[in-house]
Amino acid sequence: MGLDVVLFDHNNSKIGLFEIPERLHHALFQDTFYWRSYPSLRKISDYYRTNVRLDRVGMQHLITDLGQVKPFINHHDQLDLDTLITALCDDTVSSIHIAGD
């Protein structure tokens, strides 16, 4: 199982669910060490202890950080990462909750 990303709208209503697949999490955090330079990525690096709520500003930091590490992961995982970034960039999403196992 991957990390669950619950998407919320401006009324704090759940509008979607996205999973960061275990394989993508591994590509981001175990195949490289670049993530350590990015505070928002450090918050979600521990697969089993992640429990983070981000508002729109925090989401923007996460989007930027994911874009910065994207060149360091393989092409297939980059496609999964693009899907996540697209979901986070949706204007109807105002906050997210990321939780691990």
List the chain pLDDT tens, one digit each, 101 residues.
689 999 999 999 999 998 999 999 999 988 778 888 899 999 998 878 889 999 999 999 999 999 999 999 999 999 999 999 999 999 999 999 999 86
pTM of the model: 0.90
- What is the residue type of 9? D
What pLDDT sits at residue 4?
Answer: 93
| C-alpha closest to that of 65 among 49, 47, 42, 48 | 42
| C-alpha closest to that of 41 among 94, 84, 86, 90 | 84
Q: What is the rounded CA–CA span in Å between residue 66 and residue 68?
A: 5
70-95 confidence digits (pLDDT tens): 999 999 999 999 999 999 999 999 99
- Within 8 A by CB and 6+ apart from 56, the residues are 94, 95
Instruction: Tell me the domain boundaries of the chain.
Output: 3-99
| C-alpha closest to that of 5 among 23, 17, 15, 14 | 17
